[in-house]
């Protein structure tokens, strides 16, 4: 019996799915792959990053607003989406850092935070999972926690003795980390903009990256330039988080497509044979699952 390929992307907050791997998901949706976004928290403690949305009525019900934004984004991307139901931890700032708020996602015990994700894995039965590296991509406590629960769920979902009562066991075959803001990509975009005579927003970013080794190498580059516009539309759906005049849209799409037409990943776990580098998240899986 043939079955469709299935991809699960696990993210910390609404908007993360649109800023990391969105064009990849849109490409696979167009190819007939079933895609599910799992959002761990509601983003209730997120700041309003778009001045046009910095209004009292938005602040008063930010959780509801972000839920509505997520609904628009998932429609644009053509994906399914589910919430794990945990509370945003916020991003602590200051010296010394303040404690995280009681009851937030980052403070949940690992088994408590992982159980609903194992349930989602066993229900959706993904062949491939996407998540963040052990530093969360950046050190937001919810992103780090998302990494932890994703790895735990990948390892546990196929074991019938773990997380009983969450459905029939299912073992995903590959786990990837997003490699969205690599130095090589930022250098390429920065260079393309400067050659075109366009002011680049990446200079200071690249300076801050100097002397900081990237912990993971890129193993997999997914060609998805045709879906960059879809990605941007999904980003703009998260109006509280994305300033349309901000750095996300500083580099014109034609330059992006020419300078860096892929979204990039690190293969962290694989239970199938595959040759690196890859250009397909389902490399080694397509041979086992007939579309």
Q: Which of 155, 116, 152 is nearest to 134 (CA)?
A: 152
CA dist 233 and 12 (Å) reads: 20
Sheet containing 34-41: order of strands: 80-86, 34-41, 6-11, 128-131, 174-178, 262-270, 220-223
Q: Is 127 annotated as a binding residue?
A: no
Q: Which of 198, 219, 202 is nearest to 262 (CA)?
A: 219
Query: In which region does residue 90 sit, left (phi positive, over 0), alpha (psi from -120 to 50) or beta (all else)?
Result: left
Element (H, E) at 35: strand 34-41
Q: Is 147 annotated as a binding residue?
A: no
Q: Is 11 annotated as a binding residue?
A: no
Q: Which of 184, 223, 172 is nearest to 28 (CA)?
A: 223
Give the β-pairing of 128-131 and 6-11: parallel
Which distant-in-sequence residues (6+ apart) come within 8 Å of 242 by Cβ?
A: 15, 18, 49, 50, 235, 236, 248
Q: What are phi and psi of 45, to 5 degrees?
A: -105, 15
Q: What is the DSSP letter of 231?
A: H
Q: What are phi and psi of 183, to 5 degrees?
A: -60, -40
List residues forming the annotated binding site for Zn(2+): 13, 16, 143
List residues forming the annotated binding site: 13, 16, 143
């Amino acid at each position: 019996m043939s079955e469709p390929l299935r991809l699960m992307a696990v993210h910390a907050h609404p908007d993360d799915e649109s800023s990391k791997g969105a064009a990849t998901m849109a490409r696979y949706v167009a190819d007939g792959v079933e895609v599910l976004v799992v959002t761990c928290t509601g983003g209730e403690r997120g700041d309003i990053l778009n001045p046009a949305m910095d209004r009292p009525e938005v602040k008063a019900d930010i959780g509801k607003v972000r839920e509505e934004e997520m609904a628009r984004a998932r429609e644009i991307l053509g994906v399914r989406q589910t919430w794990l139901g945990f509370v945003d931890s916020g991003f602590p700032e200051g010296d010394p850092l303040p404690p995280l708020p009681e009851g937030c996602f980052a403070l949940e015990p690992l088994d408590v935070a992982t159980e609903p994700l194992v349930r989602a894995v066993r229900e959706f039965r993904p062949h491939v999972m996407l998540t963040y590296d052990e530093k969360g991509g950046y050190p937001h406590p919810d992103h780090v926690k998302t990494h932890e629960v994703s790895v735990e769920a990948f390892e546990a979902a196929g074991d019938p003795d773990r997380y009983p009562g969450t459905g029939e066991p299912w073992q995903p075959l590959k786990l990837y980390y997003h490699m969205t803001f690599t130095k090589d990509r930022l250098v390429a975009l920065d260079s393309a903009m400067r050659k075109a005579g366009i002011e680049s927003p990446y200079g200071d970013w690249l300076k801050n990256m100097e002397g900081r080794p990237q912990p993971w190498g890129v193993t997999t580059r997914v060609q998805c330039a045709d879906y960059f516009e879809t990605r941007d539309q999904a980003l703009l759906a998260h109006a509280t988080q994305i300033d349309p005049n901000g750095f996300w849209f500083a580099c014109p799409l034609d330059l992006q497509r020419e300078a860096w037409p892929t979204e990039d990943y690190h293969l962290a776990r694989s239970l199938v044979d595959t040759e690196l580098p890859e250009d397909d998240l389902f490399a080694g899986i397509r041979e086992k699952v007939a579309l």
